[in-house]
Structure 1
Amino acid sequence: MARSQGRAGRVGLCLPWLGLALLPLVVAPGRAAHGGCPTSACYCVATPELEQCRYERLEEPPRGVPPAARNLSISGGDLRVLPRAAFRSLPALRLLRLTRDNLQDIEELALQGLPALRTLDLSHNPLRRVAPGAFAGAPLLRTLQLNQALLRSPPAAPLQEQLALALRNLSLRRLELSGNALPGLPLGLLPAGLEELDLRNNSLRSLAAAELRGLEAPGLRGLRLALASNPWSCDCGLRPFLGWLRGSAGRVADARSLRCAGPGPLRGTALLRLRPDALSCAAAEPGRLETASYVFFGIVLALIGAVFLAVLYLNRGGIKRWLHNLREACRDQMDGDHYRYEPDPDPRSADPSL
């Protein structure tokens, strides 16, 4: 009995260590499935020989990353600032994910020492400042992910200008800006040669004619867009975009999934099934409609006045005779009143003998 209890105690002591030994076997599939940290507070390193994750709430970029690392993912940290040469020298690193790390400032040459970097993910960070040379240390950068990274940066326009300067000398092929509440197409942010732009889940209601012309610029003619989950307003303002979409549906990968968010009768209707004459103008442009009504009313009054003058002109002879007869009748009436004799009502004054 004592021997069996001692054996059970040894097994109980070994179980925690067995769990720690099996932890990498559990973590690795999770990381491989999601392409990053399996939890919200860890960092993972993948090299050709090994793959490891550590659970830490980092406040600065990790040191001691193997030089042979190809993928590095940091999630749930509190980095705030990405300084110059933040990761020292990682010549083989191709993918860097820094998601949900409270990143706010990216300094000059923050990616220095990453010559092979191809993909950078800065999604879900409250970016406020990006230095003009922030990405200069990664000349092969082709994919930049900034999903939900421009929301907490009031005003957003200066940040977009900073990003435009930072991306100017890069050869980006894909840019992701999903979930940033963008009200329009950020043409100033797009580097020449960009091939894919993800604008899903923003605040796009329509694309103006000027924005559509920008898509035909020499450096953006091959750009493909993703525009799903935007609140498209199916009124008169959508007509330029609707015409462009029908002729360039191949440039919008999710064109068939675009739906009207309003007005009510058209809510949920596919944009590609809309006819231009089905677009509601009254709800979208009440001021313009009211002005058009006043103009129409003025035109009608002018036409009535012109018809009246034309009738007077065509009947000028009859009107002249009518006026002449009226004048003669008035003259006869006045002459009759002048010579009318009325007897004196007192008979004594009329008798000469009195």
Structure 2
Amino acid sequence: MAPRAGQPGFQGLLLVAAALSQPAAPCPFQCYCFGGPKLQLRCASGAELRQPPRDVPPDARNLTIVGANLTVLRAAAFAGGDGDGDQAAGVRLPLLSALRLTHNHIEVVEDGAFDGLPSLAALDLSHNPLRALGGGAFRGLPALRSLQLNHALVRGGPALLAALDAALAPLSELRLLGLAGNALSRLPPAALRLARLEQLDVRLNALAGLGPDELRALERDGGLPGPRLLLADNPLRCGCAARPLLAWLLNATERVPDARRLRCAAPRALLDRSLLDLDEARLRCADSGAGARGEEAEAAGPELEASYVFFGLVLALIGLIFLMVLYLNRRGIQRWMRNLREACRDQMEGYHYRYEQDADPRRAPAPAAPAGSRATSPGSGL
């Protein structure tokens, strides 16, 4: 379609209609697309959006908004209200089954933001810098089966994760939950309590492992299969604490489709080793304290070895320098040794001369007179 006159740089907005079972065509960046049940193509005028569009027909089944500046999704934003009391400003979409809102700079999702969408089965909020999520944000979505929040929860911190737990609680029909790329250090407890959840995507997070409580929560009562878990690209710590996870993986490998991609990030002795290739002997520990000490010793082993090698190299360098100094000063050392030898010879000759002088009998002192004898003078005649 040709650009409209008077709007330089305007790009036509392709509106694609597709059923939920058929993937919709990608929507151009900074556009929004929608379609009805008969796969009709439409075009709609529009500049950069700052609120949900109001010209979507009520029979639309799919709506994609990409590259807008929605920032805040207020209550009933898609169901006839904009949160400011103007109930005629929005559009009610009772048949909408798929809503994609990626890359829209959404920071806040208020309680009831998706109220009035009773048929919505798939919601994608990925790649938005969420920092606040209402505990009742998804309360009006009784039919929601797929929720994607990939790369959307990094900025929120613990408060946002707590709000996520509250927001997930009412989604009893949820089957797919995407939480990849969110720096999560633990699995959301509410996600583990969803009875119908079939797949949980937690790739590219900060999970060091899964604890016994989380592993028990992944199992369903009555022998029912638990959800599949996508766990790759997490910094797993393959120490003593990894034994429960390894045992669970060996018994339920089919539950983790990317199990072969799980790699150890610590300790250094096991860096980049496949978790499934480890044996129990490498992870054995008597108790928690001993296990912690064992992990520290195992991690410190390569460092100590490197320190010893470095120390040996330093000593070898010092020895080499010492030998080089001796070689460069060999003439001075020889002169010093010669002078020392001559000084020692002179000293020994002095001792020898004094010994010879003391041994001459003519130079010996006269013997002393016996006790009680009387000394006589030479002229006494006696």
Question: TM class by shorter-chain length?
Answer: 0.5 to 0.7
Q: Deviations over 1:280-330 (max 9, x none)?
A: 98998348868xxxxxxxxxxxxxxxxxxxxxxxxxxxxxxxxxxxxxxxx
Q: 1:43 maps to which residue? A: 32
Q: 1:138 maps to which residue? A: 141
Matches within 5 A, 1:265-304: 265-279=269-283, 285-286=292-293
For 1:15 and 1:59, the matched residues in 2 are separated by: 25
CA RMSD of aligned residues (A): 3.3
For 2:247 and 2:106, the matched residues in 1 are separated by: 40
Q: Deviations over 1:99-155 (max 9, x none)?
A: 1112122223221221110000011112222223222222101111111111111xx
Secondary structure of residue in 1 paired with 2:101: strand
Q: 1:62 maps to which residue? A: 53
Q: 1:48 to 1:274 in 2, by over 3 A?
A: same
The answer to whether the 8 A contact 2:125-2:152 is kept is yes
The code of the aligned residue for 1:135 comes to F
The code of the aligned residue for 2:66 comes to S
The answer to whether the 8 A contact 1:263-1:280 is kept is no
Secondary structure of residue in 2 paired with 1:285: helix
Matches within 5 A, 1:1-354: 35-39=25-29, 41-49=30-38, 50-52=40-42, 56-88=47-79, 89-153=92-156, 156-171=157-172, 172-193=174-195, 194-216=197-219, 218=221, 222-279=226-283, 285-286=292-293
Unmatched 5+ stretches in structure 2: 80-91, 298-382
Q: 1:175: Cα distance to partner?
A: 0.8
Q: 1:96 to 1:53 in 2, by over 3 A?
A: farther
The code of the aligned residue for 1:246 comes to L
Q: 1:261 to 1:28 in 2, by over 3 A?
A: same
Q: 1:57: Cα distance to partner?
A: 1.8
Q: 1:166: Cα distance to partner?
A: 2.0
For 1:15 and 1:52, the matched residues in 2 are separated by: 14
Q: 1:259 to 1:35 in 2, by over 3 A?
A: farther
User: How many residue pairs were aligned?
Assistant: 268
The code of the aligned residue for 2:292 comes to E
For 1:260 and 1:269, the matched residues in 2 are separated by: 5
The code of the aligned residue for 1:240 comes to P
Q: 1:34 to 1:231 in 2, by over 3 A?
A: farther
For 2:261 and 2:253, the matched residues in 1 are separated by: 11
Q: 1:191: Cα distance to partner?
A: 4.0
Identity %: 48
Q: Deviations over 1:14-63 (max 9, x none)?
A: 9978xx9xx8799969xx98754222x11111223423465632111100
Q: 1:182 to 1:129 in 2, by over 3 A?
A: same
Q: 1:102 to 1:191 in 2, by over 3 A?
A: farther
Q: 1:192 to 1:201 in 2, by over 3 A?
A: same
Q: 1:76: Cα distance to partner?
A: 1.3
The answer to whether the 8 A contact 1:122-1:147 is kept is yes
The answer to whether the 8 A contact 2:14-2:27 is kept is no
TM-score by length of 2: 0.62
For 1:197 and 1:173, the matched residues in 2 are separated by: 9
Q: 1:335 maps to which residue? A: none
The code of the aligned residue for 2:187 comes to L
Q: 1:75: Cα distance to partner?
A: 1.3
Q: 1:44 to 1:191 in 2, by over 3 A?
A: farther
Q: 1:275: Cα distance to partner?
A: 0.6
For 1:235 and 1:68, the matched residues in 2 are separated by: 55
The code of the aligned residue for 1:213 comes to R
The answer to whether the 8 A contact 2:14-2:28 is kept is no
Q: 1:236: Cα distance to partner?
A: 1.8
Secondary structure of residue in 2 paired with 1:197: strand
Q: Displaced runs of 4+ in structure 1, greater than 6 A?
A: 14-17, 23-29, 280-284, 287-290
Q: 1:36 to 1:192 in 2, by over 3 A?
A: same
The code of the aligned residue for 2:27 comes to C
For 1:36 and 1:284, the matched residues in 2 are separated by: 51
Q: 1:52 to 1:266 in 2, by over 3 A?
A: farther
Unmatched 5+ stretches in structure 1: 1-13, 291-354
For 1:125 and 1:25, the matched residues in 2 are separated by: 22
For 1:270 and 1:287, the matched residues in 2 are separated by: 20
The answer to whether the 8 A contact 2:108-2:132 is kept is yes
For 1:164 and 1:94, the matched residues in 2 are separated by: 24
The code of the aligned residue for 2:105 comes to N
